[in-house]
Amino acid sequence: MTELLSSASIGPIKLKNRVIMAPLTRGRAGDNRVPNELMKTYYTQRASAGMVISEATVVSKEGNGWDQSAGIYTDEMAEGWKHITDAMLKLDCPMVLQLWHCGRASHSDFHDGELPLSASAIKLQGDGIHTPKGKKEYETPRAMTQEDIQRTVADYQSAATRAKAAGFAGVEIHGANGYLINQFTDSRSNQRTDEYGGTIANRCRLLEEVTQAVLEVWPADRVGVRISPNGSFNDMGAEDFRETHLYIASMLNRYKLGYLHIMDGLGFGFHELGKPMVLTEFRALFRQAIIGNVGYTQETAQDAVIKGDADMIAFGRPFITNPDLPLRFANGQPLTPWNDMSTWYTHEATGYTDYKALNQA
C-alpha cells in the first residue's frame, strides 16, 4: 500500500502522504462561530493526514445555515483559525480552508427573520433543518438579485483574504452538496432567466466569478474546488448532471487550479439520474491534481492512485473515529468503526476529541 502513503504535492503544498482528511462539519465553534481550543485539539489529533481540508466555513453572516459552525468573516474568527494552523504547521500537516455559503439550506432563524438566499425561490425538499430555535421546516428562499450576487462574490474574496492571514496553505471553494454554488449550477434549483440561469455556462457563472475573485487573493495552485456530480444531498440532482459537471471541469482546468475535489462515491446519496460519473471522466478534462472522495477503503483508494484516476483520496467518517488513520493504514492496524453517529453533531468533546489513536488506546 505504498502508493497511497507516498509523498505528493499540490502546487507548492507538500504532502507527506496522499490520505486527505475530508471537510467534516461538526458544529463545535460555539455561538460566536470562532474556532477554539477544542477544535485545535481535534485537528491536531488528525495531523498524520497528508493534508487537512477544514470543516465547511461560512464566508458571511448571510451564509450561515448550521448551528455553531465556524466562520471566517471577522478578524476574530481568522485569529481563532490561526491558532489551529500554527499548531498544524508544527506537525507538518498543511491545512486548506473550505469556503462555504449555505444558500437555501438554511432558515430565517439564522438571519434575524430574513429568508435565506438562493438562485431561485424554490424550496428545498427535505425532512427539516436544525436551527438555534429547534428543528424547523425548510422555507422558500429569496431569489438573489444582481446586487446580492455581487455582494456574495465579494464575501468569498474577503473570506479568502482572511484565510491567508489565518495561515492556511490554500482554500477550497465548496461547490457541492446542495449549498449555494451548487444551487446555481443545478438546473432543478436554478430556474433563473438572467445571465445566471438557463444555459450551463450561465448556471456556472457564479462559480466562475467566485473562482476569479479568490484568484485575486491566492495563486491558482493553492486553490481547489469541490463538486458532487452524483450527489442528491440537499435535494440536488438534475437530468443534465453529466454535461454540467464536465463543463465545470473544463472551465476550472483553464485556471490551472491546484486540485479538483470530486465526491464520486455514492455513499452520501445518489440521485440515480443516469450512470454515475467516475474519476476517469474528469481526468480527461482536468490536468491538475484530483482528489476522490466518499466510501473509499484503503484498498480502493490505493487502486485509484495506482491507476492514476486520482492523485489523493479524501476520507471523512474514518477520520472521525480513527484520528491516526494514515498510521493505521501504514501498519495494517484495524479501524475503529463509525457506528454511533449520535454525538457527531453535538457541541461537546464527546464524539469529537475522545476517539483514541491506537497508541493511546
For 234, left (φ over 0), alpha (ψ -120 to 50), or beta?
A: left
CA distance 36 to 252: 34
Q: What's the Rg (C-alpha) of the chain?
A: 19
Query: Torsions phi, psi of 53, nearest 5?
Result: -95, 120
CA distance 156 to 98: 11
Q: Can 179 be counted among the known catalytic residues?
A: yes
- Cell output for 295: 466510501
- Rounded to 5°, the CA angle 352-174-271 comes to 90
CA distance 351 to 361: 15
Give the residue carrying C-alpha cell 492523485. 311
CA distance 226 to 228: 7
For 142, left (φ over 0), alpha (ψ -120 to 50), or beta?
A: beta
| Beta-strand pair 19-21/312-315 | parallel
Q: Are 30 and 68 in contact (CB under 8 A)?
A: yes
Q: Find the catalytic residue in 179, 196, 247, 259.
A: 179
Nearest to 139 by CA among 114, 173, 170, 172: 114
Query: Torsions phi, psi of 8, nearest 5?
Result: -160, 180
Q: Which residues are catalytic?
A: 179
